[in-house]
């Protein structure tokens, strides 16, 4: 048995949730599961349809982007995952052990419109306290240099410039492209991607109903977020 069995199983299970939650068509999308101590993550192989995935087909990659175990090529988005784990999990020390990229319909639509998703209601505030950030386009130089790595750098620099805490704001739209989300586990990353898709759908409906809709007052945002996530959270079982 592989010494990376645990993260391979986590990654396999989380990847299978992409079609189950309708977050992407065909082979699109990918999830990784990170082992911080070992400094490696398991990720979906590139271009393989979900019904053909197995635990053994997961590819284990280190934080230099080198394949450590596995017979297949890792997802083409692997260098983006490398950057996000290095910056957010290792350098910033945040509790992030899962990352997901999808092409879910409504989240991609906001990314294509180059607009952050406004925080209109408590469904959104239950999960993050800010609008869902949306990066500008990558520069031509960045695209020509090392596209997937630069996508990670763009997310990180966007978070730095907005002073967002990636342990709290666990989702980002890459302008013209689509969403990356993350979480304490690969499962929670998938959960966040499904939340984002629902919030993106509701927000489009909201501006269709009322083009001048205004954001939720901050005192309600904070209340909802903190009842689920603060030190005195009282949602769920202890």
- Please choose, from the candidates 112, 124, 113, the residue with its C-alpha nearest in 3D space to the C-alpha of residue 177: 112
Active site residue 77: no
Work out which of 55, 63, 113, 184 binds a copy of itself, going by CB under 8 A.
113
* DSSP secondary structure code for residue 74 in this structure: B
Residue 90 main-chain phi, psi, to 5 deg: -85, -60
Active site residue 225: no
Active-site entry in 50, 62, 126, 147? 126
SS3 content of the chain, % helix, strand, coil (to 5): 45, 15, 40
User: Does residue 20 belong to the site contacting a copy of itself (CB under 8 A)?
Assistant: no
Q: Which two tokens stand for residue 71?
A: 């017979």
Work out which of 55, 63, 72, 167 binds a copy of itself, going by CB under 8 A.
72
Q: What is the DSSP string of 156-209?
A: HHHHHHHT--TTT--EEEETTTEEEEEESSHHHHHHHHHHHHHHHHHHHHHHHH
User: Does residue 45 belong to the site contacting a copy of itself (CB under 8 A)?
Assistant: yes
The C-alpha atoms of residue 66 and residue 43 are separated, in whole angstroms, by 12
Please identify, among the stretches 35-43, 82-90, 155-163, 174-182, the one whose residues bind a copy of itself according to the rule CB under 8 A.
174-182
* DSSP secondary structure code for residue 154 in this structure: H
Work out which of 34, 195, 196, 225 binds a copy of itself, going by CB under 8 A.
195
User: Does residue 103 belong to the site contacting a copy of itself (CB under 8 A)?
Assistant: yes
Work out which of 2, 13, 38, 48 binds a copy of itself, going by CB under 8 A.
48
- Span 121-150, contacts to a copy of itself by CB under 8 A: 121-123, 137-138, 140, 143-144, 147
User: Does residue 109 belong to the site contacting a copy of itself (CB under 8 A)?
Assistant: yes
Q: Which two tokens stand for residue 120?
A: 């209109």
1 vs 209 by CB, closer to a copy of itself: 209
- Residues taking part in catalysis: 126, 235
């Amino acid at each position: 048995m592989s010494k990376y069995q645990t993260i391979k199983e986590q990654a396999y299970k989380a990847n299978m949730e992409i079609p189950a939650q309708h977050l992407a068509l065909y082979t699109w999308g990918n999830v990784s599961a990170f082992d911080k101590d070992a400094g490696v993550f398991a990720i979906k192989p590139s271009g393989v349809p979900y019904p053909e995935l197995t635990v053994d087909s997961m590819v284990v990659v280190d934080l230099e982007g080198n394949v450590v175990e596995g017979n297949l090529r890792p997802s083409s988005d692997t260098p983006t995952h490398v950057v996000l784990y290095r910056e957010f999990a290792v350098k910033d020390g945040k509790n992030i052990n899962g990352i997901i990229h999808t092409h879910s319909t409504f989240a991609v639509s906001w990314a294509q419109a180059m607009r952050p998703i406004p925080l209109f209601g408590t469904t959104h505030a239950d999960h993050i306290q800010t609008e869902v950030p949306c990066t500008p386009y990558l520069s031509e130089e960045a695209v020509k240099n090392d596209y997937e790595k630069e996508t990670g750098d763009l997310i990180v620099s966007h978070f730095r410039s907005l002073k967002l805490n990636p342990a709290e704001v666990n989702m980002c739209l890459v302008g013209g492209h689509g969403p990356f989300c993350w979480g304490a586990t690969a499962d929670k990353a998938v959960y966040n991607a499904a939340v984002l898709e629902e919030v993106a759908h509701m927000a489009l409906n909201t501006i269709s109903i009322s083009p001048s809709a205004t954001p939720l007052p901050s005192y309600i945002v904070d209340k909802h977020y903190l009842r689920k996530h603060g030190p005195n959270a009282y949602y769920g079982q202890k």
